[in-house]
Amino acid sequence: MAKVEGPLMSMEARGKLADAIVFFPWKGRHVVRQWLKPTNKKSVAQGYVRAAVYAIGKFITEIVSISNGGALDSKVYSLSTAKVPAGMNWNAWLGGGFLGAIQSAGTLSTALFASFVADYSALGTAALTAFKTQASSLGIADFAFDYGYTTNIEAGCVLYFGALACYSNSLTAAAPYNIDPKSWAASNVDAFASAMIGTA
């Protein structure tokens, strides 16, 4: 990206020139770059990526809304902010725990994503019910995409993905964060949900 002073003989320029270059402000500077035609690729792999990002984003949104609502003592929030490496946002780091777990050689693995959904579905009845109940009480909703991974992703599965993010990032050595969520009992799920909204 080129930095320019007085682009197009002005003090500021914004917008596209033909289909060649784009002028815009960036971090207080006036810059210009090659214009690239935006695309919205809807391949199967892209659908899986978007489903994964959307699911973990929904989980993090719950923590953010709880934290901004006055529950800054949320255990999941405080553990995340305490452990995040310097220079990273806690939410990107926490979400990265899940997104990293579904990658193989740096590329999202559709098989790994599907296997985590299958692990959730194969939970014992009590744990599965607890994930569904707690997700509902937190206001998380089911969703589905019309391409890529098109199967409905339950609210409980979104909460399960959040648990995987916490487990993958080793938030703490204490239970339930040190136990793979596919082995959680209902009491672990309840403790995790309580930790999202308070210090429990």
Task: Note the pTM of the prediction, 2 decimals.
Answer: 0.78
Please write the tens of the pLDDT for every residue from 25-70. 887 787 888 888 877 778 888 888 899 999 999 999 888 776 665 5
Say how far apart CA 185 and CA 15 lie, in whole Å.
55
DSSP 152-169: -B-HHHHHHHHHHHHHHT
Establish whether the linkage from the previous residue to 25 is cis, with ω within 30° of 0. no
| CB 52 within 8 Å of CB 99 | yes
The answer on pLDDT for 199 being more than 80 is no
pLDDT band at 129, cuts 50/70/90?
very high
Of residues 34 and 122, more confidently modeled = 122
Extract the tokens encoding 68: 């901004």
75: left (phi over 0), alpha (psi -120 to 50) or beta: alpha
The DSSP line for 113-145 is HHHHHHHHHTS-HHHHHHHHHHHHHHT---B--
Neighbours of 75 (CB within 10 A): 21
CA distance linking residue 181 with residue 92, whole number of Å:
21
Per-residue pLDDT tens over the stretch 69-110: 555 567 888 888 889 998 889 999 999 989 988 887 777 788
CA 83 to chain centre: 17
Q: Report the amino acid identity of residue 175.
A: A
